[in-house]
Amino acid sequence: MLSKSCIYGIQATIYVAANASQEFVPISQIASELKISFHFLTKVLQQLTQEGLMNSYRGPKGGVALAKPSTEITLYDLIGAIDGTSIFTECMLGLPGCGIAEPCPAHEHWTKIRNELTVIARRLTLDTMAKKAGELNVRLTDEFRYAQKLFPSIKPVNGAQA
């Protein structure tokens, strides 16, 4: 479905969005929290900075940051920047000319799914995903438990149940 690079990129940007207090977040910190290879994640995030979705800064106190408010970066942007938009446009059977004029046997069904997927990806912002992933002040049990999986360093706060 999505490539590993893409999944890592999405998880990392969610992490950065959730840590909005830090100006620049070091890639090493993201990699160790999310248990992703540091060097590999570096490549993925370089791609996101080259695509204009993130800013980076070298040296001590450096790292990466979102280039835009987290409310303005969508899942669609992230997928498009890493895996490309073909998942939102291509025929299920990979036939180059598939379209309304020359539909493939699965055309109508797949376009329906694909369009829904596109709408969802365009609407789902980093902001929304980061909130679900659990900032420290989110105390809902389910979300907190997820947060621990994605961000192991997050510790229970008073009132949160593990």
97 is a site residue for a copy of itself (CB under 8 A): yes
132 is a site residue for a copy of itself (CB under 8 A): yes
Q: How distant, in Å, are the alpha carbons of 2, 6, 65, 83, 110 from that of 92?
A: 15, 20, 35, 16, 6
The closest alpha carbon to 88, from 110, 106, 72, belongs to 110
| Partner residues linked to 65 by β-bridges | 55
Stretch that binds DNA, among 62-70, 99-107, 118-126, 129-137 (CB under 7 A): 62-70
Stretch that binds DNA, among 12-20, 32-40, 109-117, 123-131 (CB under 7 A): 32-40
# residues contacting DNA (CB under 7 A): 25
- What three-state secondary structure class fits 159? coil
Nearest-approach distance from CB 48 to DNA, in angstroms: 9
94 is a site residue for a copy of itself (CB under 8 A): yes
